[in-house]
């Protein structure tokens, strides 16, 4: 359990960690080669521990020294991914393409992860089939076979991050060029493209597609993942909701345009430099309507903490979730904290401002946990947050970072008495 005594404006500076959503596919990419791969900027997250355990279970040697992961050849690469590891995290499913590309076969259980709605893998499977793989699902396991993957043009019905990454990984060892039309353009996907280019499979982007030039063999190399824009945005929102002043360094302001625009419309003051962002907020903020969408739209992963901020803003705000149909588990928990908030289809309507109150609340997914933690920092009194293990999946050393900004937050083994 995490306990927070709220109502204290955050102030100070913290450094952004490496991006979880860039590090995960980077770890999987090490399956594409027997040569050593060094990945810098690895954040201290349980999801990264899962990813490292997964590549080890498939036969690689992996050593983590500080924030640098070195992956080298093991005794034998295995085609079967363990169910007990894959079920922990959806990104584990990305091993399917690299395994079938290298070994000609793969068995990967259907993935687990956060409960934020149906996230089918049909785009992954259709794409791999277009590259020549025979794909079948039996007893919750995906079986894929291919004597040799062939480059092809794949049209995605939706710019899916996971499907785009899956096809880039598989296409890197396919025969010829793979073209993905309507790809996801999230910075983390582009970061994977830079790693594959370093490993010898050039990736290039144009107006409506991304291309990867397949190779029969890839080299190793060194790569540092980009800063975590979701972590950065969450701390900026925490500064705003507490009406404080928070600076995040070692981050890329160019990746935050949608959030920064919304914060400025709400009346927050935002400063930025080459590699830092700072937000300060007056006592009174204005309600702002936003809609989530694929990059460069407003990130769905920042929707929950944005909603927390809007409960304290003056007026009626509408937050429309277009990416995940069930990313709303934070709404009833915010109601427990005194928020005037309701659902209308895929719109979250908040009427503010309210003075949030501390309460016992529970996180059901990573970003819902961020919303409740953000709200707790601003709330009067004590908030006791369970499900904190979900926060450890997505936020590197978040208790220490928040304490460094002046938050009254600590980990507790049991609930305080009522």
Q: Among all residues, which ones are annotated catalytic?
A: 114
Tokens, residue 10: 């955050």
Q: Are 184 and 111 in contact (CB under 8 A)?
A: no
Q: Are 320 and 347 in contact (CB under 8 A)?
A: yes
Chain CA centroid to CA 315, Å: 30
Tokens, residue 384: 């006791």
Cα three-residue angle 290-294-295, rounded to 5 degrees: 95
Reported as type and span, the H/E element at residue 349 is strand 347-352
Cis preceding-peptide flag for 353 (omega within 30 of 0)? yes
**Strands (DSSP E) along 114-244, which ranges?**
134-138, 141-145, 153-155, 177-181, 203-205, 209-213, 221-224
In angstroms, the CA 242 to CA 407 distance is 10
Residues, the chain, total? 418
DSSP-H helix ranges across 58-106: 83-86, 96-103
């Amino acid at each position: 359990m995490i306990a927070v005594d709220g109502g204290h404006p955050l102030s100070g500076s913290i450094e952004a960690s490496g991006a979880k959503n860039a590090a995960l596919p980077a770890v999987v990419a090490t399956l594409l080669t027997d040569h050593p791969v060094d990945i810098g900027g690895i954040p201290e997250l349980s999801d990264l521990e899962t990813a490292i355990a997964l590549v080890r279970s498939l036969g690689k040697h992996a050593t983590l020294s500080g924030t640098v992961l070195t992956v080298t050849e093991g005794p034998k690469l295995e085609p079967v991914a363990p169910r007990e590891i894959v079920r922990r995290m959806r990104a584990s499913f990305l091993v399917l393409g690299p395994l079938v590309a290298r070994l000609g076969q793969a068995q990967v259980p259907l993935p687990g992860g956060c409960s934020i709605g149906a996230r089918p893998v049909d785009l992954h499977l259709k794409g791999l089939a277009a590259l020549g793989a025979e794909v079948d699902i039996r007893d919750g396991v995906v079986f894929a076979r291919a004597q040799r993957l062939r480059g092809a043009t794949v049209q995605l019905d939706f710019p899916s991050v996971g499907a785009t990454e899956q096809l880039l990984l598989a296409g890197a060892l396919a025969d010829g060029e793979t073209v993905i039309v309507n790809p996801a353009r999230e910075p983390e996907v582009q970061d994977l493209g830079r790693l594959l280019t370093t490993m010898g499979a050039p990736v290039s982007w144009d107006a409506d597609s991304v291309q990867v030039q397949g190779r029969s063999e890839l080299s190793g190399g060194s790569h540092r993942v980009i800063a975590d824009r979701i972590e950065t945005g969450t701390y900026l929102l925490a500064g705003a909701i507490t009406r404080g002043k928070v600076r995040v360094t070692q981050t890329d302001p160019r990746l935050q345009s949608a959030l920064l625009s919304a914060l400025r419309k709400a009346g927050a003051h935002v400063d930025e430099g080459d590699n830092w962002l700072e937000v300060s907020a007056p006592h009174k903020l204005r309600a702002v309507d936003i809609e989530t969408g694929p990059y460069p739209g407003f990130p769905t992963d920042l929707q929950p903490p944005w909603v927390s901020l809007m409960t304290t803003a003056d007026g009626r705000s509408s937050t429309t979730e277009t990416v995940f149909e069930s990313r709303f588990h934070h709404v009833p928990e915010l109601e427990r904290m005194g928020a005037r908030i309701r659902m209308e289809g895929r719109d979250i309507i908040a009427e503010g401002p309210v003075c949030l109150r501390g309460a016992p609340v529970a996180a059901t997914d990573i970003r819902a946990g961020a919303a409740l933690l953000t709200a707790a920092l601003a709330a009067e009194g004590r908030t006791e947050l369970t499900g904190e293990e979900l926060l450890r999946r997505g936020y590197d050393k978040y208790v220490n970072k928040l304490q460094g900004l002046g938050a009254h937050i600590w980990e507790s083994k049991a609930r305080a008495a009522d």
